Amino acid sequence: MLSLIDRRMGIFLAGLFVLTVAVPVGNLALDGQPVPSYIVALLGKYLCYALLAVALDLVWGYCGILSLGHGAFFALGGYAMGMHLMREIGPRGVYANPLLPDFMVFLNWDSLPWYWLGFDMFGFALLMALAVPGLLAFVFGWFAFRSRVTGVYLSIITQAMTYALMLAFFRNEMGFGGYNGLTDFKDVLGFSLQADTTRAGLFVLSALALAAGLLVAKAITSSKLGKVLIAIRDAESRTRFIGYRVEEYKLFVFVVSAMMAGLAGALYVPQVGIINPGEFSPANSIGIVIWVALGGRGTLVGAAMGAIIVGFAQTLFTSWFPELWLFALGGLFVFVTIFLPQGVLGLIESRLGRKPPPAPAPEEASA
Amino acid sequence: MRLLPRLILSIALLLWAPFVLAQSLEELVAALPEGSYDDRAAVIAQIAATGDDRALKVLEVLLAGDLEQLDSNSRIVEIYGQGRDDFARDILTGEDYGEVPSRGSSKVRVNNSLRRDIRTAIGTMTLRHPDPARRLAAAQSAFRSPDPEQAELLAEAAAAEADPEVARALAEALAVVTLAGDGAAEAKIAAISVMRDRGDTEARTVLSSALDNGDPQVAAAAEEAVRHIEQMQRLWGMAQNVWFGLSLGSVLLLAAIGLAITFGVMGVINMAHGELVMLGAYTTFAVQEAIRSSFPALFDWSLLIAAPLAFLVAGGIGVAIERGVVRFLYGRPLETLLATWGISLMLQQLVRSIFGPNNREVGNPSFMSGAFELGQMTVTWNRLWILVFALAVFAVLLFVLKKTPIGLQMRAVTQNRAMAANMGIRTGWVDAMTFGLGAGIAGLAGVALSQIDNVSPNLGQSYIVDSFMVVVFGGAGNIWGTLAGAFSLGIANKFLEPWTGAVLAKILVLVFIILFIQKRPRGLFAVRGRAVDA
């Protein structure tokens, strides 16, 4: 376990640990609340994004699969948790129906659809938050990788997947709250979602999940399997010719990554208090890619940093100069792809005179 | 038949009234309340004989029972209600007399036989009206509310009618009347065949009421006609779906064809493609604004003026994108995707900052508004022109790629860059031109889409996924594939819609494409050869 923690990972985890201790203490224990509650929720949100970025880095940075649909896995995890939180509301909804969420009463449904059954149990919901994205990734990947859909074609069909899901979840008939999604949550496992202690608890959980996600990803990538993944990224055909079953490796890492994204979504929803089909929009999924690219593709820690940096920048820009945010984000995309192929982490490390991380080679000419 | 003597009387009155009595409409109307019902019948016939438009109004109001005589000044007025009170206005001059006290007026009385006369007179007047549109309206109203007593009237009018459209409407009205009455079986069968030729839903309703006719021959004819109509309606429904599909396909083709060049020919993923379409639409908006404020007479030409400008604006920005960003990223398609996505965000915000976040109004020139009927389907002009435009753009593009020196150079650079450079082709310049061509065509698409879609900063976003699907489905590198892809996806979408609804149809098409790519990863018409092989 300790062997997984190289210097880069060590510094990041130490920083994360300090944050995990300092933020709840500053929010709950110190007088005058030096860390206001909204900051706790905001930071918790960034940590979920960071976990999502690590999940994408695992497939893109180490296996060359540029998924433009990771937002879908994230949103599915979020919906699984949202469904549990809806059931937790119970008779406290506007229509005070003990069984049906408000939007179903509004649609004149008289019973819970079968796929909502079981979501009253927290454990089941958490399981589904991992299993549903994992299953989707398995089915999707099983078809796509076996047919050797690669490069931009794969990117485009992942985008089509999340777009199709977005359209589907917008439909009221789907039974997921349609356009408005799921919201008005009251509490989780008996703890009120409005309480500072619950928020701090969720924050700590997000930090732990991020650390665990980083370590799992690191364990995968530094194992022998990880070496094969990198070989696939750099020369897929050659790896296949040597005798590795490329599609099985890809499928494995794709499913793990999707489950990680689902977990991030499940942690994200109770902290922001809403999940709606907008989370499936292709633009969101492309946004994740830029986090990874900014932080440094194929570095895991960099991906997490990228998510946090972009999240902060978005919060600052949208409150100070809302007009300029899209210019800044768009400029960031262009700047990073042209001038920072190694990302921020690569820049820092090369300035500090360290050996730059092994660069992801350009993809095989695929189109 | 009681009707015949009355009709003869009316016609006789019609004939001699103008010569003998030659009373003015005013005098006739003033005479209405006087005398017995028989006197009134004579006056009504004379009123009808004046052929005056006001006379028609008098008769209609009289039939509705709203024609009264004011006690105060003996004027004949139309009573109309406002809330609980009655108001009066002069039936001929329209002059308003204000509120009428209760018992301040007396009704011009009519009995049932008089009502029949009035109805006949109204029918005669409208069916013989000099304006064909009025005659058509009268025939259609007779079709909708068939009155067996109007049969002879309709037959005469149909025999005298010169306008073919009105004549057909009259024949159809007569057929409905015949079917509703208790005439001979032969007449009914003839009427059924008229309805069969009409062939729409209304005709089917009329025929289905004839199905339970006592005469087996009539019933059989009606059944056959209903079957025929149902079959025709199915065919027309299919034709309508195909047309909708072609129309959607033409929109997809326009949106995707520029992408077929940048992605298909150059292998560059241009995520800003949708924004170039949007810029074309905003160019159209700007041109129309300029025309509205300075040269309103040119409005019908606005699209013709906007098209080359949109091509230049979008093409120019495309060249700038290629020179400024994309050329540093050749051979790294995924990075290109990210960088151009960044550009798309900036372009969106740029347009939002300049033109505001709301939808902008782009008008339809007169030749693009309205619709026409083709058999039983409605074709709107703007959709038809967009289809023509899309095909024209496609043809021009094909010509440029296959028959011009620049097209030859583009294909050469795509197939073998190093060799093309050795032959003296300036590959960098050709790249810029190719990208600019694709972008310019996106601008042209924007001009067309501004006619049918909301012009907003998000316009491009809604097309980007669809257009990638079209190019990937058709097979990158083959613009014929794009054509086939666009129309087959468009038609598939429209055929699914009646069963599934629009959103689910779109989802199903997306799922189908995802599955299709598994089967044929290089699309419908894959280009084979070493140049494209990975």
Which ipTM value was assigned to this complex?
0.83
Sole residue written with tokens 């583009």? B410
Among the partner-chain residues B333, B341, B469, the one whose CB lies closest to the CB of A286 is: B341
- The amino acid at residue B66 is D
User: Which residues of A fall within a CB distance of 8 Å from B331?
Assistant: 362, 365
pLDDT of residue B10: 62
- Residue A237 near residue A68 (C-beta atoms within 8 A): no
Q: What number of CA atoms fall less than 13 Å from residue B262's CA on the CB side?
A: 35
Cβ contact (<8 Å) for A286 and B506? no
Cβ contact (<8 Å) for A66 and B334? yes
Does a structural domain hold residue A9?
Answer: yes
Does a structural domain hold residue A30?
Answer: yes
Q: How far apart are the first and last CA of chain B?
A: 90
User: Which residues of B fall within a CB distance of 8 Å from A141?
Assistant: none
Neighbours of B444 (CB within 10 A): 28
Does a structural domain hold residue A27?
Answer: yes
Average pLDDT score over chain A:
88
Cβ contact (<8 Å) for A151 and B534? yes
| Local confidence band at A27 (pLDDT 50, 70, 90 cut-offs) | confident
**Looking at CA atoms only, how far is residue B483 from chain A in angstroms?**
19
Residue of B nearest to A146 (CA): B518
Q: What number of CA atoms fall less than 13 Å from residue B331's CA on the CB side?
A: 5
Residue of A nearest to B353 (CA): A323
pLDDT of residue B436: 93
pLDDT of residue A211: 95
Q: Which two tokens stand for residue B195?
A: 């309805």
State how far the Cα of B283 lies from the Cα of B289, in Å rounded to an integer. Answer: 10
Q: How far apart are the first and last CA of chain A?
A: 41
Residue of A nearest to B342 (CA): A330
Does a structural domain hold residue A350?
Answer: no
**Looking at CA atoms only, how far is residue B77 from chain A in angstroms?**
54
Q: Residues in chain B with pLDDT < 70?
A: 1-23, 82-84, 213-214, 264, 526-534
pLDDT of residue B534: 38
Does a structural domain hold residue A102?
Answer: yes
- Residue A112 near residue A104 (C-beta atoms within 8 A): yes
Strand partners, A182: A275
Position A307 pLDDT exceeds 90? yes
Q: pLDDT (tens digit, 9 = 90+) per residue, A206-236?
A: 999 999 999 999 999 999 999 999 999 999 9
Cβ contact (<8 Å) for A337 and B514? no
Q: Which one of B510, B511, B520 would you mutate to disrupt binding with A, by most A Cβ within 10 Å of its Cβ?
A: B510
Position A124 pLDDT exceeds 70? yes
Residue of B nearest to A145 (CA): B518
- Residue B376 near residue B233 (C-beta atoms within 8 A): yes
pLDDT of residue A301: 93
Domain carrying residue A69? 2-39+58-290
State how far the Cα of B531 lies from the Cα of B534, in Å rounded to an integer. Answer: 8
Strand partners, B98: B88
User: Which residues of B fall within a CB distance of 8 Å from A324?
Assistant: 349
For residue B82, the SS3 value is: strand
- Residue A161 near residue A69 (C-beta atoms within 8 A): yes
State how far the Cα of B357 lies from the Cα of A260, in Å rounded to an integer. Answer: 36
**Maximum Cα–Cα distance across chain B:** 109
Q: pLDDT (tens digit, 9 = 90+) per residue, A137-161?
A: 999 999 899 888 888 888 888 998 9
- Going B458 to B462 to B464 to B467, the CA torsion angle's sign is negative
User: Which residues of A fall within a CB distance of 8 Å from B511?
Assistant: 164
For residue A233, the SS3 value is: helix
Angle, alpha carbons B389-B394-B399 (nearest 5°): 125
Q: pLDDT (tens digit, 9 = 90+) per residue, A246-283?
A: 999 999 999 999 999 999 999 999 999 999 999 999 88
pLDDT of residue A139: 94
User: Which residues of A fall within a CB distance of 8 Å from B339?
Assistant: 333-334, 337-338
Cβ contact (<8 Å) for A365 and B534? yes
Cβ contact (<8 Å) for B468 and A366? no
Cβ contact (<8 Å) for A367 and B333? yes
Cβ contact (<8 Å) for A330 and B342? yes
Does a structural domain hold residue A205?
Answer: yes
In sequence order, what DSSP letters do the residues of A60-109 get, joined into one string? HHHH----S-HHHHHHHHHHHHHHHHHHHHGGGSTT--SSS-HHHHHTT-
Position A364 pLDDT exceeds 50? no
**How far is the CA of A46 from the CAs of A202, B112, B307, B453, in angstroms?**
12, 84, 46, 37
Total domain count for chain A? 1
User: What is the mean predicted confidence (pLDDT) over A38-50?
Assistant: 92
User: Which residues of A fall within a CB distance of 8 Å from B353?
Assistant: 323
Strand partners, B107: B68
Cβ contact (<8 Å) for A146 and B518? yes
Residue of A nearest to B461 (CA): A283
State how far the Cα of B87 lies from the Cα of B95, in Å rounded to an integer. Answer: 11
- The amino acid at residue B274 is G
Neighbours of A235 (CB within 10 A): 15
pLDDT of residue B2: 58
**Looking at CA atoms only, how far is residue B292 from chain A in angstroms?**
30
For residue B36, the SS3 value is: coil
Q: Which one of B269, B327, B337 would you mutate to disrupt binding with A, by most A Cβ within 10 Å of its Cβ?
A: B337
- Residue B493 near residue B248 (C-beta atoms within 8 A): yes
Q: Which one of A156, A246, A292 would you mutate to disrupt binding with B, by most B Cβ within 10 Å of its Cβ?
A: A156
Among the partner-chain residues A324, A329, A366, the one whose CB lies closest to the CB of B333 is: A366
Task: Tally A–B CB contacts below 8 A.
Answer: 141
Question: CB-based burial of residue A352 (10 Å sphere; 0-12 exposed, 13-18 middle, 19+ buried)?
Answer: exposed
State how far the Cα of B30 lies from the Cα of B47, in Å rounded to an integer. Answer: 11
Among the partner-chain residues A143, A168, A365, the one whose CB lies closest to the CB of B518 is: A143
Among the partner-chain residues A152, A331, A332, the one whose CB lies closest to the CB of B333 is: A152
Cβ contact (<8 Å) for B472 and A164? no
Angle, helix B461-474 to helix B502-519, in steps of 10 degrees: 40
Residue of B nearest to A289 (CA): B338
* Per-residue three-class SS string for B283-303: HHHHHHHHHHHHCHHHHHHHH
User: Which residues of B fall within a CB distance of 8 Å from A290?
Assistant: 338, 341-342
Q: Considering only CA atoms, which of A311, A366, A317 is closest in space to residue A46?
A: A311
Cβ contact (<8 Å) for A149 and B461? no
Angle, helix A37-63 to helix A301-320, in steps of 10 degrees: 130
Residue of B nearest to A325 (CA): B349
Residue B372: in which H helix or E strand, if any?
A: strand B371-374
User: Which residues of A fall within a CB distance of 8 Å from B468?
Assistant: 156, 159-160
**Looking at CA atoms only, how far is residue B168 from chain A in angstroms?**
47
User: Helices marked H in chain A — which ranges?
Assistant: 7-24, 37-63, 70-89, 102-106, 122-146, 151-170, 196-222, 224-234, 236-242, 246-272, 282-295, 301-320, 325-339, 343-351
Q: Which two tokens stand for residue B293?
A: 């404020």
Q: Considering only CA atoms, which of A286, A283, A293 is closest in space to residue A339?
A: A293
Cβ contact (<8 Å) for B519 and A163? no
User: Which residues of B fall within a CB distance of 8 Å from A232?
Assistant: none
